Amino acid sequence: MPRTALIAGNWKMNGLAGDLGFFGEVARAAADSPADILVCPPATLLALAAKTCSGTAISVGGQDCHARESGAHTGDISAVMLRDAGADYVILGHSERRADHGESDAIVRSKAEAALAAGLIPIICVGETQAERESGQAETVVARQLAGSLPENPQKMELVIAYEPVWAIGTGLTASEADVAEIHAAIRKRLPEPLTTRILYGGSVKPANAESLLSLADVDGALVGGASLKASDFTSIIGAVGR
Ligand code: PGA
């Protein structure tokens, strides 16, 4: 079964109301693309972005959610709230959350379960550090993160995996095509629904390298950070799908 490519933008802690013109610029490329197009703005812009994107081929998503539906968790946002604001997806277990907020695999799993229960598609991020790659541990680390972060009973539920080597995020470095192909194949073998689950690559994806990365067999799309902040860059990455 062919998998529809997914090009996802992760704005991280960037973006103000004045930046919503981005969506108008990207909407045409999204309409013409065979891929699913997603933008994950900061939570403050989610509802506005969802409204701006209604009637376009752009979906919006959150960058994190809490594992509980509601309650005394000051500053947190639940999956149900993201859904209510118009999100279709949520990024979970990004390496910046794992590092900045001490998110363990078990926390990521409980968030993923909450996301699925709320009707969101979780994008579960995994990836090794530079030291782990240099010591030959990349595949072991990713396998361990997957085993600990995937929901307990994900069968028949749609989720997305993003392989993002930590050392490639925001650095301008990308993993070699051979390394990406190897890890993506290893991830696919460990998925409960290997044929239908999309595996994205992330880490310094830009217009210049998108086409070659997206042409790899087990790469079903990209999670794009820095290059998703500029409409022209994001549009040209969208244009690299299926070229
Ligand atoms: P980058 O970020 O494209 O800026 O490297 C990717 C990500 O962190 O999702």
Q: What is the CATH number of the domain that holds 91?
A: 3.20.20.70
Residue type, 129: T
User: Chain-wide mean pLDDT for the chain?
Assistant: 96
Whole-angstrom distance, CA of residue 204 vs CA of residue 167: 10
Query: In terms of residue numbers, what domain contains 230?
Result: 6-239
Cα–ligand 1 centroid distance for 19 (angstroms)? 19
Task: Assign 181 a pLDDT band (cuts: 50, 70, 90).
Answer: very high
Beta bridge partners of 242: none
Q: What's residue 104's pLDDT? A: 98
Residues 6+ apart with CB under 8 A from 99: 166
Instruction: Say if 1 falls within a structural domain.
Output: no
CA of 67 to the centre of ligand 1 (A): 24
Q: 17 forms bridges with which residues in the sheet?
A: none
Q: What percent of the chain has pLDDT over 70?
A: 98
pLDDT tens readout for residues 70-97:
999 999 999 999 999 999 999 999 999 9
Report residue 49 as tokens.
């972005």
User: What's the structural domain count of the chain?
Assistant: 1
**Cα–Cα distance, 189 to 195 (Å, whole number):** 10
The model's confidence at residue 155, banded by pLDDT at 50, 70 and 90, is low
Ligand 1: residues whose CB is within 6 Å? 10, 164, 169-170, 202-205, 223-227
What positions carry a catalytic annotation?
Answer: 94, 164
Tracing tokens 């022209």 back to the chain, one arrives at 232
Provide the pLDDT confidence category of residue 173 given band limits of 50, 70 and 90: confident
Residue 152 has a pLDDT of 85
Bridge-partner residues for 36, per DSSP? 6
Beta bridge partners of 222: 7, 201
Asked, for residue 88, whether it belongs to a domain, the answer is: yes
